[in-house]
Amino acid sequence: MKILTSAQTREADAYTIREEGISSTDLMERAAKAFTGWFENKFQPGAEVHLFCGPGNNGGDGLAVARLLHERKYKVQPYLVGDTSKASDDFNVNLQRLPQELQPIHVEQEDAIPALDSHVLVIDALFGTGLNRPAMGLYGKVIEKLNSSGATISSIDIPSGLFSDSQTPDEGAIIRSKYTISFELPKLAFLLPQHEPYVGEWHVVPIGLSQKFIAAAKSDVYCTRQEDVQQLLRPRKKFSHKGTYGHALLLCGGYGKMGAAVLAARACLRSGIGLLTVQVPQAGYPILQTAVPEAMTLTDKNRKHLSELPQDMDKYNVIGIGPGIGTERVTKTAIGQLLATAPHPIILDADAINLIAASEKLKGQLYKKKLIFTPHPKEFERLVGKVKNDYDRLQHLREFCLEYGCYVVLKGSHTAVGTPEGKVYMNTTGNPGLATGGTGDVLTGIITALVGQQYTLEEACRLGVFIHGLAADLALQTVGDIAMTASDVIDHLPKAFLHLTRPLP
C-alpha cells in the first residue's frame, strides 16, 4: 500500500472526479458516508455528538457527517468555527443541505467556545491535510478546549493542526484524537511515534479513489499489509529436505548474555531454517547444547567473548551477528574480519551495530556488501548521528541505505525497512508487548532464517518484521502486553506462519 502526500491525495480526488464524471460534492458525500459507517459501528445512536467544522473541505465533510448522523437518530450539534464568509464551495453546499432542525452554532470568538462534558462524543472536522501553518488564534483555543474536555474525539481524515507530510511547528495546537479515520490510504503522520498522542487508534475507510491514479503515483513510502507479505511467503515443496532451506550461522552471546544467543537461535529455527550453527564463547557451550538441541554449537577460543570466526565459512548461506556479543576489542577485530572476508549476506544487530558505529574503519568496510542492519532508534543514531524528529530520522534512514547500499530495519512501532533504492516500508503489526528485552534478538533470528532460505534481502526484511509483529499480536491474546516476553513471541511464531498460509477471509 502506497503512502501518498497530501498534494497527491488532492490530485487523486481530482482525477477520480474527472474519471467518474462526478462532482466534488459527490465525492465528499462518499467520504462522509464512509466515516458515518465507521462511526455507527463504534458508537450507539443515543450518544450526544458535538461536531466542529472549519470553513474548508474538511468542514464540508463534517457538515455532511452531521446530516447523516442526524438521519440515523444521533443527537448532533454542529459548530461552525471561525469566519465562514469565505468558506469553500463544497462547505457551503453541505451547509445548505442541513435540515431545518439541525441548526449550527457559530463560534467566532473565544467566549463562544462551548464547555463540554467528558461523556460526550466530539467529531473534529476543523482542518484536513491541506493545513500549511500552525493552528493558532481562535482555532488553537478551540483545539485546546476540546483536548482539555476529556471528551472522546474522532477526527475526520487527520487530527486538526497536525501536518501530514512534514514536521508540525511547535507553536500550534493539535487535536488529541482517540480515533482518526483516514480515507482510502493512511497518512505518513499516522506511522510515526511522535504523533501517537494526537492520532490515537487510526482506521482507513475506502471511498473509491481511482486505483489507476494510485498505481501510477510515485511514492517511496509504503505500508506493508497482510496481503502484501502473503504474496512473499513461499510454500514448501514435497520433496525438499533440510539442505533445501539453507544453513545459517549465528555469532551470538557473551558471558552473562547467553540468553540473547538462545533467543536468536530458537527464533531462527522456528522461522524455517534448514540447518543452524551457533558459535558462542566457551562459557555458553553447555547452555546452547541444552537450551537449543536442534542447533549445532561451535565454541570460540575465548571463554567470555566473540573473538574469531569459524574455520569453514563457505558452507553457510547467511550470517547473523550481534545479540549479546559485547564490545570488546577482540570482538571488534572479529567483525572486521567478517566484513572483509564473508561473501554471504550478513544481518547486523545490537553490539555489532554499536562497534561499527564507533569505528570509521569498520564503516569503510560496509560498501558493496549484502548487509541488513536491525537497530533500535538509539543504535541508529549512533550510526548516523543525532536526529531532530521522526521525519528527520526517516530521511537519515534513506540516506544511510543509499550511501552504503544496504538494508536497515529501524525497529519500533511501525518498524521501518529502508532499502538501497531509498524506499521505506512501514510495518503494520506489533504492539507494546514487544517493548521488552530480547525481542530484537528474536527478530534477528527470524530475518537470518528467511535470508538463509533464499528470500531476497528486501523480502526477508519485510516478511520478517511482519511475522515478528504478528507473533506478538497473537501472543497478546493469551498473555497481554504487560506480561509478554521474547519467549512468548517465539512460542507464537508457528501460529503466525499458519495465519499467513491460510486464505484471507
- What's the pLDDT tens digit per position in 77-89? 999 999 999 999 9
Residue 503, pLDDT score: 60
- What's the pLDDT tens digit per position in 426-459? 999 999 999 999 999 999 999 999 999 999 999 9
Mean pLDDT, residues 481-493 taken together:
98
Q: What are the Cα distances from residue 316, in Å, to 118, 432, 443, 503? A: 61, 35, 19, 34
Q: Cβ(31)–Cβ(61) under 8 Å?
A: yes
CATH code of 227-233+243-501, in short, is: 3.40.1190.20
3-state secondary structure 141-194: HHHHHHHHHCCEEEEECCCCCCCCCCCCCCCCCCCCCCEEEEECCCCHHHHCHH
- What's the pLDDT tens digit per position in 350-388? 999 999 999 999 999 999 899 999 999 999 999 999 999
Kindly report the pTM of this predicted structure. Answer: 0.95
Total Cβ atoms within 10 A of residue 378: 8
Which residues have CB under 8 Å from 228's CB, separation 6+? 1, 462
Q: Cβ(229)–Cβ(466) under 8 Å?
A: yes
Closest Cα to residue 356, out of 377, 341, 375? 375
- What's the pLDDT tens digit per position in 42-81? 999 988 999 999 999 999 999 999 999 999 999 999 999 9
SS3 helix, strand, coil % of the chain, rounded to 5?
Answer: 45, 15, 40
Collapse the DSSP code of 355 into the 3-class scheme (helix H, G, I; strand E, B; otherwise coil) and give the result: helix
Phi then psi for residue 57, to 5 deg, are -70, -25
Helix (H) / strand (E) element for 48: namely strand 48-53
Residue 342, pLDDT score: 86
Place of cell 529455527: 269
- What's the pLDDT tens digit per position in 93-139? 999 999 999 999 999 999 999 999 999 999 999 999 988 899 999 99
pLDDT at 264 over 80: yes
Q: Please state, in angstroms and rounded to a whole number, the distance separating the CA atoms of residues 191 and 1.
A: 13
Average pLDDT along the chain: 96
Amino acid at residue number 315:
K
In CATH, what class is 6-218? Answer: alpha beta
Q: Computed from CA positions of residues 16, 17, 19, 20, in that sequence, does the dihedral angle turn out positive or negative?
A: positive
Helix (H) / strand (E) element for 491: namely helix 486-491
Mean pLDDT, residues 170-180 taken together:
96
Region(s) of the chain under CATH 3.40.1190.20: 227-233+243-501
- What's the pLDDT tens digit per position in 199-247? 999 999 999 999 999 999 999 999 999 999 999 999 999 999 999 999 9
Region(s) of the chain under CATH 3.40.50.10260: 6-218
Residues, the chain: 505
- Sorting pLDDT into bands at 50, 70 and 90, what band is 343? confident
DSSP classification of residue 282: G
- Sorting pLDDT into bands at 50, 70 and 90, what band is 505? low
Collapse the DSSP code of 298 into the 3-class scheme (helix H, G, I; strand E, B; otherwise coil) and give the result: strand
Q: Cβ(427)–Cβ(417) under 8 Å?
A: yes
Hey, which bits of 393-457 come out as E strands?
A: 407-410, 416-418, 424-426
